[in-house]
Amino acid sequence: MGVQEAIAEISTFLGQRLSRSKSDLNLHGRSESHFPCSPPNAVAYPETTEEVARIVKACAKAECAVIGWGTGTSLEGQAQAFQGGISVDFSRMNRILAVHPEDMDVTVQPGVTRESLNEDLRATGLFFPVDPGANASIGGMTSTRASGTTAVRYGTMRDNVLGLEVVTASGEVIRTGTRARKSSSGYDLTGLFVGSEGTLGLITEVTLRLHGQPEAISSAVCGFETVGDAVQAVIETIQMGIPMARIELMDPASVAAVNAYAGMDLPERPHLLLEFHGSDAGVGEQAETFGLIAAEHRGTGFDWATRPEDRTALWTMRHNAYHAILASRPGMRALVTDICVPISRLAEAIETTRADLEATGIPGPILGHVGDGNFHAILLFDDTDTEAVGKAMAVSERMVECALALGGTATGEHGIGIGKLGYMEREHGAAWGVMGTLKRALDPKGIMNPGKLVPPDS
Amino acid sequence: MGVQEAIAEISTFLGQRLSRSKSDLNLHGRSESHFPCSPPNAVAYPETTEEVARIVKACAKAECAVIGWGTGTSLEGQAQAFQGGISVDFSRMNRILAVHPEDMDVTVQPGVTRESLNEDLRATGLFFPVDPGANASIGGMTSTRASGTTAVRYGTMRDNVLGLEVVTASGEVIRTGTRARKSSSGYDLTGLFVGSEGTLGLITEVTLRLHGQPEAISSAVCGFETVGDAVQAVIETIQMGIPMARIELMDPASVAAVNAYAGMDLPERPHLLLEFHGSDAGVGEQAETFGLIAAEHRGTGFDWATRPEDRTALWTMRHNAYHAILASRPGMRALVTDICVPISRLAEAIETTRADLEATGIPGPILGHVGDGNFHAILLFDDTDTEAVGKAMAVSERMVECALALGGTATGEHGIGIGKLGYMEREHGAAWGVMGTLKRALDPKGIMNPGKLVPPDS
């Protein structure tokens, strides 16, 4: 690949905004995953769609890899430059382009982060609910089909992206979708680009569906004697149709870690963290129904947080759980698993995982967006200890096999990147080949984030 | 194309289930649209996925067109054989394969109709909400990304299909999606096939998301002085976040037609037809809030129907509105328009359409799924009167132009087929070319439902 040729051409129009500083390259070679630093050859900081199109055209001409970059919080190596190339950092494309409060939608550039978007929206009475924990960029969240704690109520990025502007692999600028709430006008290109991890094109604009800030919000914590009890309560809650805004599981090891990290004193037993959104009366009714279900499953200490600051503390604790778990074993690295199963099989999947962790001796606190059937075991290991690394990898692989055997998926929300590439054929069979066909059709030179998601020969 | 060659081969394994009877061919050349009868050369009645795969392989070898057929209720010519070929009628693949009440999903063969599915589900406490009016097949609804009266609450087929089994253009059988509620495992192939109108493959199995039958349902009718008042009430209702199950508009001409057809006596003014789903208390709260909004917009005669038989009568009236409108002008044909706009522009779109109808003198009662910003004018004309036909076509075209100018789409739910092909470039620009690229990649011989949806040279 002619990366030097691409760099020479891109420099002519980006000037100082094409960076080759060592620290910048290293920063763009890392992520929050366990993959080694793999820096690009240069980092481009475009400010307009036209500049992105020129960058991609230069890369296409030089047959040089081009990789989108949001905030570097992906977990499967999606934005790392394993084959070198040009990293396109969208941090300077971070404007909110149009808010339409009456239509409950907003159009943003990809570099806008979800927290800054919600700050900007506050006065409108609307909010953007998708919350993967990290303050990720909207472009990155779109590219990885992110979800998180609120997907059980508000859906994932798949459900909340109305339309896109995309620079294709040839440098052409296209628009997908409209601001209408529904359409049956041709192939769902929006859906095809959401979750494509930059392998089909670079997203330069995103139109998002917004939701009304709920009239009333209340949060709660509820302890259970066993993970099985907690999960059964979740299953019944979902089946009853209670429109939970959040319903999250922490197992005893996770609770211990957040207690130590955040100075909390929750009993070291499985807990559900809950949030209810609705009218005053609606929230009361939901909570009451949930309380009855929890009581049937020996739920205890059903503790309320209606004050905003208490709610914030609760969800900050949840969002920091990953860091709390890492901090509980200083010096260890984490492999974050991410399986998702039909909810009727959730208890079985978690029990199988816990038994495997126990047998293997790998610490693996479990956290989960259990309303969706999605959970993570945070596998901890000393990465200089090859035996421990091997054991953690083997647990991770068996978790995926368990998920697939139960009718689920290898990744509920973290995506494929390179980390899950090895499971794609098992999960999709011949359909993975169809993904490869689409990739070759839309990116015949294979320049868009090569080595990720599709079969290696695509 | 070697259609005779394909027929000879398919006969060897389908025997009598490959029909060439004149009446059968004509039946499969028609639809509920205004397009002329365009029969296929033969109609295949497969009973298994393997048979579908063999049919497609035979057609691929002979380079013969293959067109999926559900119940023939599509409105843009999607299932008509304008270039001849083999029509694949899924009526013998009408089994419900697996119901998972705990996971609230069901896997069905494509020939199952939505009414028979809901009959089968009744005892489970679950239902499948997508309701386009016609008793369409699930395969057809999936292929055209159908929606209808309940999309405002439960979404369209896009939101309710979890996974598919598809026979691709080469006769390969693939599976897309899983039964997990979410996944970020690669390209969203499910989403790509939903709404692809049989141009990329034939759907042989569909896994659908189900919903809990609501504890309480109540319906209501409410009259307004002007369409503008009614639409403004809808806009505020949606913005308030009232989770309407249905919110439908009938203009005075539609009301007159259903009065005559169904022996009703609604005042001849604009009406909203509403349905609320929820708990007893929730439904009461929703209705009360709606009542306040309606009163602010001079809504009158807010009339309740909580008894199931009254509700059924109300929605039967709505579903028969198309036939009522046709019956109001005996001998005339209908062109059913289907634009969808951001809801803030809905009043403007309807007013523009009404003014155009008035100026042109074409009768065009308006009905709409207005909670989604989607409405239909049923344009009536004598199809032997070329001037009237031309005028109706011109109104339809101006409606699409209006929708696109307001940030909407040429079709909210009826799809493209051949009827909306002429608007694709205007709506999608270069993205239509990307659709053509995908078509060529997945169906290089162009045998899957040729002449529909994608650019003619794809």
What's the rounded mean pLDDT across residues B338-363?
96
Q: Compute the average pLDDT of residues A101-109.
A: 96
- The CATH number covering residue B310 comes to 3.30.70.2190
pLDDT of B262 reads 87
Chain A contacts of B341, Cβ < 8 Å?
180
Task: Report residue A348's pLDDT band, with 50, 70 and 90 as the boundaries.
Answer: very high
Give the residue from A181, A340, A449 with the most B CB atoms within 10 Å of its CB, the best one to mutate: A181
| Residues of chain B contacting residue A423, judged by C-beta atoms under 8 Å apart | 185
Cα end-to-end span (Å), chain B: 16
Q: Give B143's pLDDT tier (boundaries 50, 70, 90).
A: very high
The residue among B304, B328, B352 that closes a domain is B328
Residue at A427 is within a domain: no
pLDDT of residue A132: 94
**Cα B40 from chain centroid (whole Å):** 23
| A178, A85: one domain | no
Residue B197 has pLDDT above 70, yes or no: yes
- A155 → chain B, closest CA residue: B182
Whether residues B285 and B254 fall in one domain: yes
Please check whether residue A364 lies inside any domain of the structure.
Answer: yes
Q: Which of A20-34, A154-168, A406-420, B186-200 has the lowest mean pLDDT?
A: A20-34
Same domain, B87 and B145: no
Residue A227 lies in a domain: yes
Pairing of strands A86-89, A42-44: parallel
Asked if residue A436 belongs to a domain, the reply is no
Average pLDDT over every residue of B384-395: 96
Residues B290 and B349 both lie in one domain: no
Is B434 among the domain residues? no
Residues A277 and A153: beta-carbon distance below 8 Å = yes
Q: How close B322 comes to chain A (CA, Å)?
A: 20
Q: Do B372 and A187 touch (CB under 8 A)?
A: no
Q: What is the mean pLDDT of residues B363-369?
A: 96
In chain A, whose CA is at the least distance from the CA of B209?
A: A342
Residues paired with B223 in a beta bridge: B271, B300
CATH number at residue B361: 3.30.70.2740
Q: Inter-chain contact A212–B442, Cβ cutoff 8 Å?
A: no
* Residue scoring higher pLDDT (B427 or A308): B427
Residues A112 and A146 in one domain: yes
Are both B171 and B267 inside the same structural domain? no
**B159: Cβ contacts below 8 Å, ≥ 6 apart:** A159, B209
Instruction: Kindly give the residue spans of alpha helices, DSSP state H, lying in A63-202.
Output: 114-121, 138-143, 151-154, 157-160, 189-193
pLDDT tens, A68-94?
A: 999 999 999 999 999 999 999 999 999
Q: What is the average per-residue pLDDT within B295-318? A: 85
What lies within 8 Å, CB to CB, of A263 at 6+ separation is none
* Cβ–Cβ gap A182/B413 under 8 Å: yes
Residue B88 pLDDT greater than 90, yes or no: yes
Q: Is the pLDDT of residue B100 over 80?
A: yes
Nearest to A192 among B191, B409, B411 (CB): B191
pLDDT at A378 over 90: yes
pLDDT at B385 over 60: yes
What is the mean pLDDT of the segment spanning B426-449? Answer: 98
Nearest to B441 among A235, A238, A441 (CB): A441
B85 falls within a domain: yes
Q: Is residue B151 part of a domain?
A: yes
ipTM score for this prediction: 0.96
| B342 and B301 within one domain | no
Question: Exposed/middle/buried for A355, CB within 10 Å: 0-12, 13-18, 19+?
Answer: exposed
What range defines the domain where residue A31 resides?
3-91
d(CA A360, CA A349): 16
Asked if the structure places residue B53 within a domain, the reply is yes
Q: Do A191 and A289 belong together in one domain?
A: no
Residues A370 and A307 in one domain: no
The percent of residues in chain B predicted with pLDDT above 70, rounded, is 100
Q: How many CB pairs under 8 A join A and B?
A: 260
Residue B393, pLDDT above cutoff 70: yes
Which of A32, A60, A91 represents a domain boundary (last residue)?
A: A91
Same domain, B146 and B235: no
Cβ atoms within 10 Å of A304's Cβ, excluding its own: 13
Q: Please tell me the total count of domains within chain A.
A: 4
Task: Give which of B91, B83, B92, B101 is closest to B41, Cα–Cα.
Answer: B83
User: Which chain B residues are closer than 8 Å to A200 by Cβ?
Assistant: 187
Q: Which residues of A touch B107 (CB under 8 A)?
A: none
Residue that terminates a domain, selected from A91, A118, A147: A91
Whether residues B278 and B219 fall in one domain = yes
Tokens coding A80: 């790392």
Interatomic CA distance for residues A265 and A260, integer angstroms: 8
* Interchain contact, A180 vs B412, CB within 8 Å: yes
Shared-domain flag, residues B227 and B279: yes
Q: Per residue in A234-266, is it b (16+ CB within 10 Å) or e — as a string? A: bbbbbbebbbbbbbbbbbbbbbbbbbebbeeeb
Mean pLDDT to the nearest integer, A132-149:
96
Local confidence band at B47 (pLDDT 50, 70, 90 cut-offs): very high
Residue A1 in this model has a pLDDT that exceeds 60: no
pLDDT in tens, B145-175: 999 999 999 999 999 999 999 999 999 999 9
What average pLDDT score do residues B191-207 get?
A: 98
- In this model, does residue A119 exceed pLDDT 60? yes
Q: In the predicted model, what is the mean pLDDT of residues A390-419?
A: 97
pLDDT at A309: 85
Residues of B in Cβ contact (< 8 Å) with A238:
104
pLDDT classification of B1: cutoffs 50, 70, 90: low
Q: At what angle do helices B252-262 and B308-319 cross, to 10 degrees?
A: 120
| Structure tokens, B317 | 């009236």
CATH number for the domain that contains residue B174: 3.30.465.10
CA distances from B223 to A281, B364, B417 (A): 29, 20, 36
For residue B40, what is the domain's CATH number?
Answer: 3.30.43.10
